[in-house]
Structure 1
Amino acid sequence: MEFFAIARIHTNAEGLRRITMDRLPQFSPSIERLVTVHDDDHARAWTVWGEFDIVRLPVTGGVRFVLTDCANALTWSLTTGHPPQPDAVTVHATINRPEQDPEFVETIEGFVEEWREALEREFG
């Protein structure tokens, strides 16, 4: 399943890549607390879905975060400079299931919206 939101802000890939592990709870209340921060790219966090390892990766136009030990393989990317809105930031999340419990889907939709709102506060 895929989930999208558009943050109407102006930043670049480097600006998005400044979102490091230690800052994740500031951007998403769904990431309730950091258990361990190993470095800017690796952490363990307690989330609304449980405790997971998170890896941060630079990607074209921004940054991607991956819950590496999540059964649903949740990832989310923050990118800019691409169509259809190259002057905004796309928040894109995926899970590895074509269907999922509606309540779980709602939590991911809320998560994506948290990121959109936080990006607009941070960079707006």
Structure 2
Amino acid sequence: MSQHPLNISEAVPSKVINFSTFKKAAKHSGLIAFPSKKDTENLQAELAALQQELAIVKQEKAELENLLKQKNQDHKIHGIQIEIDVNKLAHQVEEITQSDYFQQLQLEVKSLRNNPIA
């Protein structure tokens, strides 16, 4: 079996076929089904609607993320306020228990407990 080099010029036509010619040939042969203009327009409209819906969903997502961030900040602030209030309360109790009047009341209570009225 003798080997001959492949002559590409015989295998490929010298002129390039443009797309519309290819499309017509493919359509008539039934090998490739191309969408009609109406189908293409419908697909483009559906694509536009989906892009618009995606933009709305992205906007809603951003709004929900901002709301969640705000809620987290509110909870942190609320926690700080409670901590401050507890510290304030502890300071006030200490002031009261260290006062002379409270110390005098403590002595009177102790005396009454130790010397019951007969």
**TM > 0.5:** no
Structure with greater strand percent: 1
Bigger Rg, structure 1 or 2: 2
Higher helix share: 2
TM-score (norm 2): 0.20
TM-score, with length taken from structure 1: 0.19
